[in-house]
């Protein structure tokens, strides 16, 4: 799994003016991400608004990103989101995505249902059996309503293909035998690297890829660069990260469209927060022109 890279961007899904998945915009976004420090991308995850994609869109977008990456960005990696709160659906997505041959799969624990521990284990037993690719677990209790404690993660690591965890519960940050550790929150990347973890699945790397690249590659300046992003961690959280990243990209002249309902675009005041953030970090001039 360490072959996935250190900086993985949880990529937004571009939509066109009609609300359809915009593949040309996705190709341009991939080029931007790989040029600014990302080792790979995670597609059809939370920031990719996977919950609003039907299965044809979901699998079609995974296939497109894999094809574009293999053709134009050799050496870069693709992780495909395949999670669902319905085990049958998760297994179907896992099997279908496996046929597309991404580098790994991202599988969130069943949300909303809040199954018992035995239910979580049974769920991942079925997911594990549906693929021969590495599976990255995704622990994000603020969205799923249930935590995966580290002893349960250690149990799940016994499944043959379960190989990593995207850990979005800072209280659980720890190395676990059999699992590569990836930060699930941007601000925890430095903590994961200090522990000897593999890296992070990040969102602000859409905009601050160079800074995260430096955090990964320059331990001597790691804390200094991390501290310089404090306002970005704060301001980009004024709305769901899919929404703020799309707004920031738009301000930088990288058109990825707006979000799908139930997400809504930033209002004027929120957009101004993001604009001023980009100005402070030299991404925009005071006249609103990308630097």
Catalytic residue among 76, 112, 124, 138: 138
**What pLDDT digit, counting tens, does each position of 23-50 carry?**
999 999 999 999 999 999 999 999 999 9
Active site residue 112: no
Contact 54, 77 (CB under 8 A): no
Residue 2 pLDDT grade (very low, low, confident, very high; cuts 50, 70, 90): low
Active site residue 138: yes
Residue 277 has pLDDT above 60, yes or no: yes
Q: What is the percent of the chain where pLDDT is above 90?
A: 97
What was the pLDDT predicted at 283?
Answer: 93
pTM (global) more than 0.95:
yes
Nearest partner of 241 among 211, 204, 188, 267, judged by Cα: 204
First and final CA of the chain: distance in angstroms?
36
**Where is 108: in which H helix or E strand?**
strand 104-108
Residue 151 pLDDT grade (very low, low, confident, very high; cuts 50, 70, 90): very high
Residue 1 has pLDDT above 70, yes or no: no
DSSP string computed for 114-157: ---HHHHHHHHHHHHHT-SS-EEEEE-HHHHSS---HHHHHHHT
What was the pLDDT predicted at 289?
Answer: 75
Q: Is 111 exposed, middle or buried (0-12, 13-18, 19+ CB in 10 A)?
A: middle
CATH number (3.40.190.170, 2.60.40.420, 3.20.20.70, 1.10.3720.10) of 2-218 reads 3.20.20.70
Cα of 291 vs its chain's centroid, Å: 26
Nearest partner of 106 among 74, 90, 83, judged by Cα: 83
Q: What is the percent of the chain where pLDDT is above 70?
A: 99
Contact 205, 216 (CB under 8 A): no
**What pLDDT digit, counting tens, does each position of 58-108 carry?**
999 999 999 999 999 999 999 999 999 999 999 999 999 999 999 999 999
Nearest partner of 212 among 182, 167, 241, 255, judged by Cα: 182
Catalytic residue among 76, 111, 124, 166: 166
What was the pLDDT predicted at 246?
Answer: 98
d(CA 108, CA 147): 11
**In sequence order, which residues have a C-beta less than 8 Å from that of residue 187 and are 6 or more positions away?**
226, 229, 233
What was the pLDDT predicted at 183?
Answer: 98
**What pLDDT digit, counting tens, does each position of 215-263 carry?**
999 999 999 999 999 999 999 999 999 999 999 999 999 999 999 999 9
Q: Which residues pair with 40 in a beta bridge?
A: 8, 77
Q: Which residues pair with 276 in a beta bridge?
A: none
């Amino acid at each position: 799994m360490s072959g996935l890279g250190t900086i993985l961007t949880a990529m937004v899904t571009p939509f066109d003016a009609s609300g359809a998945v915009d593949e040309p915009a996705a190709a341009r976004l991939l080029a931007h991400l790989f040029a600014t420090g990302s080792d790979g991308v995670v597609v059809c995850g939370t920031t990719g608004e996977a919950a609003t994609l039907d299965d044809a869109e979901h699998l079609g977008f995974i296939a497109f990103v894999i094809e574009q990456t293999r053709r134009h960005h050799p050496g870069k990696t693709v992780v495909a989101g395949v999670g669902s709160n319905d085990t049958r659906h998760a297994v179907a997505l896992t099997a279908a995505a496996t046929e597309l041959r991404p580098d790994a799969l991202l599988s969130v624990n069943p949300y909303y249902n809040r199954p018992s521990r035995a239910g979580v284990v049974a769920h991942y037993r079925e997911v594990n059996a549906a693929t021969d690719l590495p599976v990255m677990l995704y622990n994000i209790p603020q969205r799923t309503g249930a935590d995966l404690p580290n002893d349960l993660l250690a149990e799940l690591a016994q499944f043959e293909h379960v190989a990593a965890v995207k850990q979005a519960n800072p209280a659980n940050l720890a190395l676990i035998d059999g699992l590569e550790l990836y930060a699930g929150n941007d601000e925890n990347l430095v903590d994961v690297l200090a522990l000897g973890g593999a890296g992070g699945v990040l969102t602000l790397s859409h905009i601050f890829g160079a800074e995260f690249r430096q955090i990964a590659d320059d331990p001597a300046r790691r804390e200094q660069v991390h501290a310089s992003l404090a306002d970005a961690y704060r301001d980009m959280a004024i709305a769901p990260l899919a929404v703020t990243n799309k707004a920031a990209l738009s301000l930088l002249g990288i058109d990825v469209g707006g979000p799908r309902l139930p997400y809504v675009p930033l209002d004027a005041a929120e957009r101004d927060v993001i604009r001023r953030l980009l100005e402070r970090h030299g991404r925009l001039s005071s006249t609103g022109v990308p630097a």
